[in-house]
Amino acid sequence: MARFDYDAGQSLFFNEERFTFPLSGSVTSGGRIPTGSRSFTNLYVDLAEQERAGSKPHAVLLDSDGQIVLDVPARATGAYGHLATHAGEPIESLRWRRKGGMSGSPYMECWVRYADHDDEEMEGRSFRYGQLFLDTETTGLDPAHDEILQLAIVDSEGRVVWDRKYKPTRHTVWPEAQTVHHISPESVRKCPAIQSDLEEIQSILDSAEHVYAFNAPFDFAFLGNLGLHCDRERTHDTMREYARKAHGREYIKLTEAAKEVGYSYKPHDAKADCIATMQVQRSVDGKPVMTSDDFAKRDMKPCDIKTMRRKWIVYWVLLAVTVVFVALVFASLWMLIPAVLLAFFTWSQAHSNELQAQINEAAGLPAGREQKCLLPSKSRHAR
């Protein structure tokens, strides 16, 4: 199966610039060639003049003590071009890791996030949501080429914050993906393009203290290529968090993880997958998985409970008056027994039907359908 570049889209989503440089002595770190994976924060870019006449200044990254973290000469054109244009600017974070090239020559992959002037305003802000969970259904697996057909976002209790389908702007058919999520070209023919909703979606992302996705690089890459963004520190990959905690590995299918935590549902719908991700993350966080009763109680406000109580009090008062009236008319106390039994049966049926309707509505099931199991994940390899 083809391997797609999710890092590039993720970098855009995290507001980071990504570039590479060779391990050939053209780039140094503190006088040494950088090796392994490193990360830094609170740096700034400077242009350091060289003693040799005619030499271009180096682009250097300095820490708060003025120590060189990265020294990039002009001959390292890729890295130099990225950094030199930001001379004098602060850098919020820098990460690099060593990778092997196609020719066998090692190189470093680097991510730089330049400080946003709005960051200070964002500090100390209050978030509307503590946790948000998002999921996408797409025309394919390549974030640089394919497009989003459905985006859903739910909160930490499974309430739907966003759930919309979109008509792609470049694709007219997507047969392989359609066999997985069953979103056909005809079903989205009258839907808007996702570009029309980007401002609202960004506002939702900004309102969350933590943003989760299952196999997050996939979803974040698609969102990043649309120009959406979120701080890396506020994002989480539920798949990796659960797989590491439960199995000591990096990957697991959402259907398998959901089943393991005691949750079943129908996969490959963005909203349903969001709720499944929320349930798996609850397990990671040491919280119990929500049941159908939890979903029903979640949407029942105190005023609704009071209204229901008043309604049943009135019902019982009227029923008692009716029973007494019937008994007096027929002058027989024996009539009370069948009347009371009939009244109790009628009440229990009505109460049961109303409660089931509330549960179905909270869990997203059609009216009149029993919920025998909770919302039943999806393989990211078959979207």
- What are the sequence ranges of the domains in the chain? 6-121, 126-383
Number of Cβ within a 10 Å radius of residue 185: 16
pLDDT in tens, 184-207: 999 999 999 999 999 999 999 999
Name the more confident of 260 and 312: 260
- What does the pLDDT read at residue 84? 87
Tell me how far apart the terminal alpha carbons of the chain are, to the nearest angstrom: 14
Residue 6's pLDDT band, with cuts at 50, 70 and 90, is very high
Given a cut of 70, whether residue 138 has pLDDT beyond it is: yes
pLDDT category of residue 367 using cuts at 50, 70 and 90: very low
- Is the entire prediction scored with pTM above 0.85? no
H-type alpha helices, 24-99:
77-84
Q: Using 50, 70 and 90 to split pLDDT, how confident is the model at 370? A: very low
Give pLDDT, residue 298: 79
Number of residues that make up the chain: 383
Residue scoring higher pLDDT (295 or 311): 295
At position 370, the amino acid (one-letter code) is E
Q: What type of residue is 54?
A: G
What pLDDT was estimated at residue 165?
A: 98
Q: Is 21 helix (H, G, I), strand (E, B) or coil?
A: strand
Which numeric CATH code is attached to 126-383? 3.30.420.10
Burial label, 143 (beta-carbon count in 10 A; 0-12, 13-18, 19+): buried
Is the predicted pLDDT of residue 1 greater than 50, yes or no? Answer: no
The percent of residues above 70 in pLDDT, for the chain, comes to 75
Q: Give the separation between CA 342 and CA 68, rounded to whole angstroms.
A: 86
Q: Is pLDDT at 337 greater than 90 in this prediction? A: no
Number of neighbouring beta carbons within 10 Å of residue 231:
18
The closest of 70, 35, 39 to 232, measured between CA atoms, is 39
pLDDT at 152 over 50: yes
**DSSP characters for 111-172?**
EEEEPPTTHHHHTTPPPSEEEEEEEEEESSS-TTT--EEEEEEEETT--EEEEEE---SS-S
Closest to 140 in 3D by CA, of 357, 383, 378? 383
Asked if pLDDT for residue 96 goes beyond 70, the answer is yes
**Residues forming a β-bridge with 19:** 110
Please tell me the least confidently modeled range out of 33-37, 147-151, 272-276, 356-360: 356-360
